[in-house]
Structure 1
Amino acid sequence: MSLSPRFLTFSFSYFAYFAIVGLVVPYLGVFLDGKGFNSGDIGELIAIFTATKIIGPTLWANAADKSGKLRFIIQLGAGLSLALFSLLFWVEGYWPIAFVLGIFSLFWTAIQPQLEVMTLVSVRRNANIYSRIRLWGSIGFIISVIIAGELLVESHPDVFVTLGWSILLALFISSLLLKQPKINIKPNAQRVSIFPKLIERNFILFFVAGLLLQISFGPYYSFFALYLRDLSYPSMAIGAYIGLGAVAEIGIFIIAGRLYYLFGPKVLLAVSIFLTALRWYATGHWADSAIILFFVQLLHAASFGLYHTASIQYLQQHFSIQEQNRAQAIYIAGVYGIGGALGAFLSGIFWLDGEGSMLSFELAAITCLMAGGLACLMKPHKNSNAIST
């Protein structure tokens, strides 16, 4: 499939999708700070933005299962996300911005689960090809985060909206180029309940560990750019440090398939989580050292890249193709929705406009240690279910 039109269109879609991630996730706090909100308000607004992942993925997964039209749902989500984000040019005040961010995020959640399923089916669930496609998301993230870092930190907050609108337009165009593969899911077909798989011990450990990991990301996603600004890093350096983490991801995505077959999900999940605990502790204590921060940001390869690949492949093993949409929706809703919202809300409480930055990262590290302990309790997955290369 390499260099085929389908490979290129999926790669471009990941590039565009994660370019908007590279703008919104690191710099939404900077945008809100520029609007005059304090850390408590910022934490609440980011929590509202994130909380839509609790219900959004399930709604869109049900629509995908009933219609079988994953491509159309991606296009609908991209188009409506573009329209909602445009409103940020005009709205002011806490509740209008909260409303726009919440509804925008609700439509945005339609995109990734369906894109993941379409991609994995198109590559015949091959971990190596999936990793190569997914690394283009990292490239999009890197380019976006560096450009945005240079333009946003010292600029008017409307620059954030202009950049976001441009990237979302590219994402919508990319969605029009996608071709849906043949998926053996009949619209309106009777579905088998996935509840028995959800209450298996291994899945519960996997789910709660992921939930805690996402809670630990709260200070980083909400305040890291502002944290570096307060430590007197120049705007270009802020974007470069955030982008450095995504650069490290690329190396992991290239070799992730082989690592997965060598070690399996349990080992990779546990290692990535424990390294994330180290990352948060070091960020809270030594981020004022440019050299230490450089090496700490390289750990993003583990805390996001390695964890993401291992978790996606674990879900592919644990659930059948007929269950994938619902499984992805439940995972994103619980882990990224609840975990992300709690992380943002709690970090807003403890951050105290920067005075509580060290404590916030220490609490994040402790949360990761708890998550890593749960991952260690998982039983190794049976090799017979491994995805073929």
Structure 2
Amino acid sequence: MFNSFFKLSNTYFWYFSVLGLLVPFLAVFLDGKGFNSVEIGEMLAIITATRIFGPTLWAMFADKTGKQLPVIRLGALLAFTSFMLMFLVDSYWGITIALALFSLFWTAILPQLEVMTLASIRRSPKIYARIRLWGSVGFIALAVMASELIERFSSDTFITIGALILFTLWLSTLWHKQPKHIKAAIKPTGSIYKRLVTPTFIFFFLAGLMLQISFGPYYAFFGLLIRQLDYPGYAIGLFISIGVLAEIGIFIIAGRLFQLFSIKTLLIFSILITALRWYLTGNFGDVAIMLVIAQIIHAASFGLYHSASMQFIQQHFASNQQNRGQAIYIGGVYGIGGAIGAYMAGILWLDGAGATNAYVTSASVAIVGAIFALFVSTKNSR
């Protein structure tokens, strides 16, 4: 079990290390290439759109074989290969296509890794939490390290760091063995359409969509905002790390919160406090303590909301509809919402001059999401 724990933790570490580079510094890299905020927003929207259909395509492939490991290895290898194209391209479309291909192959890894991990540890929540923790450690480590390296050298260092991490991630997948007790593919049965068109799921979906759209300025331009406000170079990784640490904390106590509050209450609270987060970021980002508070709210914006969403999906869909329900929700909310959010942020940002307006708009969008969440019912969802 220890050997399996070490191998899985290692892969989670490197997978989320890549995110620790992408989330804070992709926009910094694109800005260094001379693209304006509208172009950056467009590029990020196209890249994010691969999340709409990517996870479903890879899940179908895994279901046919009944094995996750070949998909994980192939996805990691193709993601690394696609990212290497960044050394060869310099134009708008060249970089966009390279990153879009990377993202498409990248979506193959985590869903299958989660399934394989749960099978390997016999679905022990305690062991899973310890393994998943190393992903957060990887994210923080790379965010802080990349801050220093990019500040010391140049934004182009982003490509070299990304290539090295992706190659190491692929190597880590070669250590694994397919768990023997994962059964061959099980064909889903039962129509999911009736569950998708219920009013409560529609409002739930729209609430999540609004929340994800509101993340647009944060995911697209937070790194540039920190630079614009004259914080030191390492501050980008530091502020991002505060949010991840808060996220870890909420995952630890989430079980207790679900005992004390309803899913609907937690969904509404998470969205409303996220509106406050964007307001603080846009209007008081130059005050370090206010930005720290805004980052701590990430615990609710992502951690608590994600946990509550997964609980809702588990209650709303039958057992043989869970995978499809999650794929539709995640692909739709994170793919469509993320693409719209990035595109809108690019229009509103105005190369930094519209930063406050972009975040105030995000706060307003989040409030609309909270209104949709008011109509979500978690009673008798089946």
TM class, shorter-length: over 0.9
Where does residue 370 of structure 2 map in the other structure? Answer: 372
**Letter paired with 1:59:** L
Q: Provide structure 1 residue ranges, at least 5 long, that are not aligned to the other structure.
A: none
Of residues 72, 75, 81 in structure 2, which corresponds to 1:83?
81
Of residues 99, 104, 128 in structure 1, which corresponds to 2:97?
99
Equivalent runs, 1:293-308 vs 2, <5 Å: 293-308=291-306
> Is structure 2 residue 168 aligned with structure 1 residue 170?
yes
Where does residue 147 of structure 1 map in the other structure? Answer: 145
Shift in Å, 1:201: 2.8
Where does residue 269 of structure 2 map in the other structure? Answer: 271
CA contact (8 A) 2:67 2:182 kept: no
Separation in 1, partners of 2:199, 2:306 = 20
CA contact (8 A) 1:57 1:330 kept: no
Separation in 2, partners of 1:9, 1:257 = 27
Shift in Å, 1:270: 1.9
Where does residue 349 of structure 1 map in the other structure? Answer: 347
**Letter paired with 1:12:** N
Shift in Å, 1:140: 1.4
Shift in Å, 1:104: 0.8
Which sits farther off after the overlay, 166-175 or 44-53? 166-175
Separation in 1, partners of 2:168, 2:319 = 29
Shift in Å, 1:66: 1.8
Separation in 2, partners of 1:49, 1:29 = 12
Of residues 310, 313, 320 in structure 2, which corresponds to 1:312?
310
> Is structure 2 residue 222 aligned with structure 1 residue 224?
yes
Where does residue 338 of structure 2 map in the other structure? Answer: 340
Indicate the SS of the match to 2:153.
coil
Where does residue 237 of structure 1 map in the other structure? Answer: 235
Which sits farther off after the overlay, 80-89 or 300-309? 300-309
Indicate the SS of the match to 1:377.
coil
> Is structure 2 residue 117 aligned with structure 1 residue 119?
yes
CA contact (8 A) 1:265 1:381 kept: no
Of residues 248, 251, 266 in structure 1, which corresponds to 2:249?
251
Number of aligned residue pairs: give it. 381
Separation in 2, partners of 1:373, 1:128 = 35
CA contact (8 A) 2:312 2:378 kept: no
**Letter paired with 2:337:** G
Separation in 2, partners of 1:283, 1:190 = 44
Of residues 186, 203, 206 in structure 2, which corresponds to 1:205?
203
Write out per-residue CA displacement over residues 101-152 of structure 1, whole angstroms, 9 at most, x where no aligned residue.
1111110111122223333455555555544433322221111111111222
Write out per-residue CA displacement over residues 202-234 of structure 1, whole angstroms, 9 at most, x where no aligned residue.
322222211111111100011011011011001
CA contact (8 A) 2:67 2:184 kept: no
Separation in 2, partners of 1:192, 1:30 = 46
TM-score, normalised to structure 1, is 0.91
Shift in Å, 1:319: 3.7
Which sits farther off after the overlay, 308-317 or 81-90? 308-317
TM-score, normalised to structure 2, is 0.92
Write out per-residue CA displacement over residues 324-349 of structure 1, whole angstroms, 9 at most, x where no aligned residue.
43333222210111000100000000
**Letter paired with 2:53:** I
CA contact (8 A) 1:62 1:326 kept: no
Indicate the SS of the match to 1:117.
helix
Which sits farther off after the overlay, 319-328 or 66-75? 319-328
Shift in Å, 1:180: 4.0
Indicate the SS of the match to 1:234.
coil
CA contact (8 A) 2:13 2:135 kept: yes
Separation in 2, partners of 1:172, 1:178 = 11
Against the structure 1 CA distance between its residues 209 and 69, is the aligned structure 2 distance closer, same or farther, given a 3 Å change threshold? Answer: same
Where does residue 186 of structure 1 map in the other structure? Answer: 185
Separation in 1, partners of 2:120, 2:325 = 18
CA contact (8 A) 1:50 1:340 kept: yes
Which sits farther off after the overlay, 318-327 or 280-289? 318-327
